[in-house]
Amino acid sequence: MIRPDLLLKPTPKGLYCPPGDFYIDPVRGAVDRAVVTHGHADHARAGHEHVLATPETLAIMAARYGEGFAGSTQALEYGEAVEINGVTVWFSPAGHVLGSAQAVVEWKGLRMVCTGDYKRRRDPTCRAFEPVADTHVFISEATFGLPVFKHPDTDGEIAKLLDSVRMFPERTHLVGVYALGKAQRVIKLLREAGYHETLYIHGALEKLCQLYEDHGVALGPLESATLETSERGAQERFRGKIILGPPSAFHDKWGRRFPDPLPCFASGWMGVRQRAKQSGVELPLIISDHADWDELTDTVREVDPEELWITHGREDALVRWAELEGRKARPLRLVGYEEDNFE
Amino acid sequence: MQAFSDLLERLILTPSRNGKIALLAGYFRSQPSPARGWGLAVLTGELDIPGVKAGTIRKLAEDRVDPELFRLSYDYVGDLAETVSLIWPGQRGANRVPPIEDVVETLLGATRAQGERLVAGWLDMLEPKGRWALIKMVTGGLRIGVSARLTKLALAEMGGVEPGEIEEIWHGLEPPYESLFDWLDGTADKPAPDIAAPFRPVMLAHPLVTKDKRDTPDAIDPAMIDPDVFAAEWKYDGIRVQAVSENGTRRIYTRTGDDISHTFPDVLAGMDFEAAIDGELLIGAPNGEVAPFNELQQRLNRKTVTKKQMETRPAFIRAYDILVEGEEDLRPLPFRERRQRLEAFVDRVGSDRVDLSPLVPVTTLEALEDHRNAPPAPEIEGLMLKRWDSVYEAGRPTGPWWKWKRDPFLVDAVLLYAQRGHGRRSSFYSDFTFGVWRDGEEGLELTPVGKAYFGFTDEELKLLDKFVRENTIDRFGPVRAVTATEDHGLVLEVAFEGLNRSPRHKSGLAMRFPRINRIRWDKPAAEADRIETLQTLLPPDPIANP
Ligand SMILES: [Zn+2]
Ligand SMILES: [Zn+2]
């Protein structure tokens, strides 16, 4: 069989396919042809000449960057294949966010699968991860690639938030969530846990929540957390309520107006107490849209590729694990994926 | 362990004092006895469970996880207890979380070797948060920002009683404190433990800030300091104690009610009286003066004391108040009357272990300012101001008593080394060693005089970190040496409370409570201070003939 790095190879602009002449999730500058795994801004950048992605990912990009975010676009449903300069490309669900996909690239009998970002936990807002059989090279992310990252049961974390709301009814629970994926998942999980009160959302979340609704993900009653009036006491109505917004907003003026705010943050990083303390989080919610250590290693065992490549994250530990398992592994050390901000 | 580990995690992440009290009170309210009692004992550090060394915990983990994976994880997390708690390969699924009373009661009856085996077993059963709490418990020192005092405030809040009521009976109570909780629940009377020579909650002072220095709500008008209204005393740099001798029992308590009698048998022997007095515990120097604080430090935190230590570092109490004399409670009397009683008492008892804290004449505000900043001995930290009409009141009432500390000393020193911090600062160089100039064999050289790791803002920390990274000339492990010459070097204005002689340090001196007051980006390194400036501040050598 041909050498895998003839089909895909790491370059400063991202993972490049020489025979197909395209990049997967290019990180730097505009390219002629991009295959985009999902809508997070570090994977899906604006300005490329041609973009191939799932219809949901294209919709997300259009919502964020405006309709003219690329010269031309091509929507590809999960499981459908296209040919690019003789290279076959198709998508398999990645379970990360709405529309997220693993990019499967095939050429001369060689099958390589790039996961983009993925998780294995249940997520009521997107299609679950589907492993691809007969993968020769599995190109995995490793955002949480250390054995200290073992995300607890997600329902338990949601229960923790609801318990806190009951225990501190006089405080405003400010929940930090990333605008794409995490926000909608947390909202949906709250609904599933029986919380049907109005949830208040920061302006940065509105467009994407609407987009999820349009794609059939019902999120229940949402209201803008913006105050129309500067009248004193107007913020009192937020007492005891749950407000969702990007974590960065909680430390500025916006977050400080709420009565007795209790900062929460839904992220896989919250598994490390020091990270929570450092960011001023009082209630860490360990809810992640990335695979934890067990999910990463279990997935590699399940897919059982001939080679494991690691795109970004804490690759050293995963490489070490592969070594102990007698697996061939290669860190790609791709730069440009801002894992901290997109989890 | 579940509720207790949840509590610990929330405590560590809750910055506000009131928030912590609410969490603690909520825990005591919601948990049954004896679980909450053992939790309380762990929080107040009352338990003497066989300790497990951090190194042992690490080894237990490395027996179960590849050491290289462990190292990578520890590097990332930065805290051993947290790394082990997260990386421990728990049995997925069928876990039974042991209740805290099982853990504590079993540990109390265990030897050290048994303790290690037990811990390993529980680590298998617990979830990461529970593992973390367990490791914190057995490796000693929770360090979660909760003092015994704060815990007692939470108990008071839970039961709707005065904190002083709890401190008064605390010494007669034992874990798991069932009688205490019954009382706080309102299902039983207040326990009346039979404590001989009990502790009386102390009266504390607020720091005094005058309005002309800083216009904040706690500042007071200097005109308020009226000699007819206030008495002044020196504020000695020892530790505040309460010495109680009643019906043949003698005890020495710290101001938080900890019994430290066993450490000071020499003082106990000199307590031949029936009274409870309040004063400063100090060490006498051979010349009859007070020895520096680090002499006292040598005697604190020791379970046993040697005869030699008692001879070279004799302890005594400088009395400044009297709370009980014979059967009579003097606390409701104004300070003016208590002072008279105290003077007569000290005189009559004539103990070589108790003397009288002298009054400083209050004439004018200016004279007081001078006294405050130029006290007659280096072991004096400033002044105490007490209203003549103040009754002895538990807690920290605003108004009757003020402590008015001397302004800190300042020195301009040059940054020499920087070390990475811990926890939230682990990615920054945040521990700074600095030095001053002296004449060396090859001309002017810098000699290290201290180390500071706070005093700066987060913004300044970033700039300091940047300076360190850009001016590194050498590395030793986690430490970086930075450029420090007459032409290139960073000057730090360091504030400190005093100096001690220290043969352990190359410079021969040790700073007390050093912190970075200001970063002098503007000042040339050559203009930093010389060692002689500091030497003039040193106390006279107290023990010339060791
Ligand atoms: Zn992503
Ligand atoms: Zn990513």
Quick: pLDDT tens for B332-365: 999 999 999 999 999 999 999 999 999 998 888 7
Question: Chain A: nearest CA to B390, how far in angstroms?
Answer: 37
Mean pLDDT of chain A: 93
DSSP output for B358-417: PEEP---HHHHHHHHHS-SSTTEEEEEEEETT----SB--SSSEEEEEPPPEEEEEEEEE
Number of residues in chain A: 343
What's the CA gap between A173 and B276, in Å, rounded? 50
Q: Give the best residue of B68, B85, B422, B430 to mutate against chain A (max A CB count within 10 A).
A: B68
For the domain made up of B206-405, give the CATH fold: D-amino Acid Aminotransferase; Chain A, domain 1 (3.30.470)
CA within 13 Å, CB half, B526: 4
Number of helices (H), then strands (E), in chain B: 19, 20
Say if residue B408's pLDDT is above 90: no
Is the confidence at residue A297, as pLDDT, over 90? yes
| Residue corresponding to tokens 């200001």 | B518
Question: Which residues of B are less than 8 Å from A314 in CB distance?
Answer: 72, 76
Q: Is A60 on the interface with B (CB under 8 A)?
A: no
Q: Map tokens 């839904």 to a residue.
A: A266
Angle at B269 between CA B267 and CA B275, to 5 degrees: 80
pLDDT at residue B255, rounded to an integer: 87
In the structure, ligand 1 is a single-atom ion and the residues with CB under 5 Å from it are: A 40, 117
Residue position matching structure tokens 């010459």: B485
A137-142/A242-245 β-pairing: unpaired
Looking only at the bridges linking them, the beta strands covering A101-107 and A261-266 are: unpaired
Whether B2-139 and B206-405 share one fold: the answer is no
Query: How many other β-carbons are positioned within 10 Å of the β-carbon of residue B218?
Result: 10
Whole-angstrom Cα Rg for chain B: 26
Are the beta carbons of A148 and B66 separated by less than 8 Å?
Answer: no
Nearest to B228 by CA among B361, B59, B126: B361
What is the distance between the alpha carbons of residues B307 and B294, in angstroms, rounded to a whole number?
Answer: 19
- Cα(A271)–Cα(B86) distance, integer angstroms: 8
What long-range pairs does A67-73 form, CB within 8 A, spacing at least 24?
Answer: A70/A34, A70/A46
CA of A342 to the centre of ligand 2 (A): 7
Average pLDDT of span B240-252: 94
**Coil/strand/helix, residue A23:** strand
Summary mean pLDDT of chain B: 88
The token pair at B527 is 């203009």
Query: What token pair was written down for A162?
Result: 């609801």
Res. B141: pLDDT tops 80? no
Mapped onto helix, strand or coil, the DSSP state of residue A291 is: coil
Residue A232 has pLDDT above 70, yes or no: no
In whole angstroms, what is the distance from residue B123 CA to residue A25 CA? 42
pLDDT digits (tens, 9 = 90+) for B275-317: 999 999 999 988 888 888 878 888 886 777 888 889 999 999 9
| Residue-wise pLDDT tens digits, B112-121 | 888 888 898 8
- The angle that helices B80-87 and B54-62 make with each other, rounded to 10 degrees, is 30
Q: Are B269 and B354 in contact (CB under 8 A)?
A: no
Q: Which ligand has the nearest atom to the CA of A313?
A: 2
- Reply yes or no on whether the pLDDT at A342 is more than 60: no
Q: Which residue has the tokens 């790039």?
A: A114
**Alpha-carbon gap, residue B151 to B157, rounded angstroms:** 10
Q: Lowest mean pLDDT: which of B59-63, B206-210, B292-296? A: B206-210
- What residues 218-277 of chain A have any CB closer than 8 A to a CB of chain B? 271-274, 276-277
Residue of A nearest to B424 (CA): A278
Hey, where are the domains in chain B? 2-139, 206-405, 409-535
Domain B409-535: homologous superfamily in CATH: Nucleic acid-binding proteins (2.40.50.140)
Q: CB–CB of B82 and A272 under 8 A?
A: yes
Amino acid (one-letter) located at B221: D
* CA B405 to centroid of ligand 2, rounded, Å: 54
State the smallest CA–CA distance between residue A222 and chain B in angstroms: 29
CA pair distance B173, B107, nearest whole angstrom: 20
State the ipTM, two decimals: 0.93
The C-alpha atoms of residue A218 and residue A279 are separated, in whole angstroms, by 31
When pLDDT is averaged across residues B441-449 and rounded to a whole number, the result is 90
With an 8 Å Cβ cutoff, are A277 and B127 in contact? no
Q: How far is the CA of A343 from the centre of ligand 2 (A)?
A: 8
Q: Which residues pair with B412 in a beta bridge?
A: B493
Chain position carrying tokens 């001309």: B443
Mean pLDDT of A267-281: 89
State residue B540's pLDDT score.
65
Residue A130, CA atoms < 13 Å, CB-side half-sphere: 14
The DSSP secondary structure of A129-144, one letter per residue, reads: P-PPTT-SEEEEEETT
* pLDDT above 90 for B242: yes
Q: Is CATH 3.40.50.300 the right assignment for the domain spanning B2-139?
A: no
What is the average per-residue pLDDT within B395-413? Answer: 87
In a 3-state reduction of DSSP, which class is residue A192? Answer: helix
Instruction: Judge whether residue B545 has pLDDT over 50.
Output: no
